[in-house]
Structure 1
Amino acid sequence: GVIILFLTMATGFLGYVLPWGQMSFWGATVITNLLSAVPYLGMDLVQWIWGGFAVDNATLTRFFTFHFIFPFIILALMMIHLLFLHQTGSNNPLGLNSNVDKIPFHPYFIYKDIFGFIMFLWILIAFIWKFNYLL
């Protein structure tokens, strides 16, 4: 879960520093400082991510590649996360009996999600009909 969180933040950050093919000095400074703080590997990571000592086309291409591929990695990790969560149950720090919650995934969750989606659409449509110029 934490890896998924960090990858999501990294994807958003790469999208933030990439527009118009330019990168702000603030973005470059933050990335350099974060990577250089990694013990033993920091300087090598900084040199690799920048492709040398200048932010040029190779660096931007690398960042665009990461920004494109990270959502697919996040999706795969999320599917693995949900698979293991529904097979083994979640963490139970209070020590409560959680066997009653270990039910098959399909019957309850599919109906619950469909019901929630229909209720959301019903409320949205009613809101649009009542206050059509508000949205």
Structure 2
Amino acid sequence: MHTTKEAAAALNISPSTLGKYVMALEGAGFRFESGKRNARLFDDKELATLRQLIDTAASQELPPGQAANAIGQQAYISLIEDRLASIEQRQDQLMALYDELTVRISRLPAHHIPDYTPPSFLFFSRPKAGFLRFLSK
């Protein structure tokens, strides 16, 4: 973890400029860890995000707030894509299990496959109670 002074030195910017960039990123939804007395601490991933903000702002000639929003949108889209890929992978695993189960069931002799008809007591009409009985009269 790096202090504000160390992070600013690593990014070749002043601590006050770092504070402005951090506020821009926090406005876009990013969260930074705080240490004692609410002093911000930065890990390598957060330094990379700050470097991306600086590069995006410089290359696209954007103010820090707009660059932070652009980075936030990219991160959000990347997160959604990762989650969709995870869901698709899980779906493929479930389909493989379903196919395997279908094959195993088809190999069972007919007398080993249980009868899944619902029990007969579920089909008896139940007497209506209370207010419903009053309405049906």
TM-score by length of 1: 0.30
Higher relative contact order (CA 8 A, sep 6+): 1
Q: Choose 1 or 2 for highest CA Rg.
A: 2
TM-score by length of 2: 0.30
